[in-house]
């Protein structure tokens, strides 16, 4: 087996959706899947491009960005084991937003035609993928609802509470979110200006509500951050 084939097999082993595939189907996936590496800032695709392949993150992190007159908005972030752009692939529509690597990222890509063939031949895989797509749609709906009508500080607090739920780990300093986000990216995630994001983050750093570190954030007291998610602030 070549080094590339071994690397691909190792990457697929990291992805839960392939672990329970029968041997013959797994071998078929290995035959048509490809690996792709991107540096930070690399573009997976631009909005409007055809969704020709299912993309899964092995390592790294990807953001999906919609460009608007009022500024860019980050619709979602995807990390290891998650699929990016699956809704567009399944519905056979162009990608509605641009996908960009937030850090060095390793991806597995599966051509759309082969992915649909896999779904048709494995019922459990099809059920798992449908559940995944449903969760993606529900998460985006919840995010849009949470942003509606809330002031900037409340939206930032809700963002970091959500990140803590998915990525947080307890440390001696508090709940750590091991993720590098610029003030611009925070602004794009909550739909505000970078100046407003800077003001909120600077104030919370001084008040030790949310601490900014190198490649991470720390929540010393989750209850204080939860309280900030339920109060209004000055934009």
Q: Kindly give the pairing relationship between strand 211-213 and strand 169-171.
A: unpaired
Residue 179, token pair as written in the block: 């993720």
Domain 152-228 fold is Arc Repressor Mutant, subunit A (1.10.10)
Nearest to 108 by CA among 81, 134, 90: 81
User: 233 to each of 142, 184, 206, how far by Cα in Å?
Assistant: 22, 19, 16
pLDDT value of residue 43: 96
Angle at 44 between CA 93 and CA 82, to 5 degrees: 80
Name the residue ranges covered by the structural domains of the chain: 3-147, 152-228
CB atoms within 10 A of CB 41: 9
SS3 18: helix
- Given a contact cutoff of 8 angstroms between Cβ atoms, the answer to whether 101 and 22 are in contact is no
How do residues 209-226 score in pLDDT, each as one tens digit?
999 998 899 999 999 998
Q: Is 7 exposed, middle or buried (0-12, 13-18, 19+ CB in 10 A)?
A: middle
pLDDT value of residue 129: 64
DSSP track, 149-161:
T--HHHHHHHHHH
Nearest to 158 by CA among 120, 125, 191: 191
Q: How far apart are the first and last CA of the chain?
A: 58
Domain at 3-147: CATH architecture: Sandwich (2.60)
CA distance 82 to 159: 19
pLDDT value of residue 235: 44
**134 Cα distance to chain centroid:** 15
Low-confidence ranges of the chain (pLDDT < 50): 232-235
Residue 226, token pair as written in the block: 């939860």
């Amino acid at each position: 087996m070549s080094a590339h084939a071994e690397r691909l097999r190792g990457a697929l082993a990291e992805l839960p959706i392939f672990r329970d595939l029968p041997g013959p189907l797994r071998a078929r996936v290995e035959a048509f899947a490809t690996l792709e590496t991107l540096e930070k800032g690399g573009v997976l695709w631009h909005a409007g491009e055809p969704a020709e392949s299912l993309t899964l993150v092995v390592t790294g992190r990807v953001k999906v960005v919609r460009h608007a007159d009022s500024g860019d908005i980050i619709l979602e972030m995807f990390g290891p084991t998650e699929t990016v752009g699956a809704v567009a692939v399944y519905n056979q529509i162009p990608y509605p937003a641009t996908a960009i690597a937030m850090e060095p990222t390793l991806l597995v890509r599966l051509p759309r035609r082969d992915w649909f063939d896999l779904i048709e031949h494995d019922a459990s895989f099809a059920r798992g993928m449908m559940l995944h797509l449903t969760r993606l749609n529900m998460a985006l709906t919840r995010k849009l609802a949470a942003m509606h009508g809330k002031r900037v500080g409340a939206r930032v607090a809700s963002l970091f509470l959500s990140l803590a739920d998915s990525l947080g780990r307890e440390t001696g300093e508090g709940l750590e979110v091991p993720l590098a986000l610029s003030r611009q990216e925070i602004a794009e995630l909550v739909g505000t200006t970078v100046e407003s994001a800077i003001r909120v983050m600077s104030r919370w750093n001084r008040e030790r509500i949310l601490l900014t570190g190198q490649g991470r954030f720390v929540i010393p007291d989750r209850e204080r951050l939860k309280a900030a998610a339920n109060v209004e602030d000055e934009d």
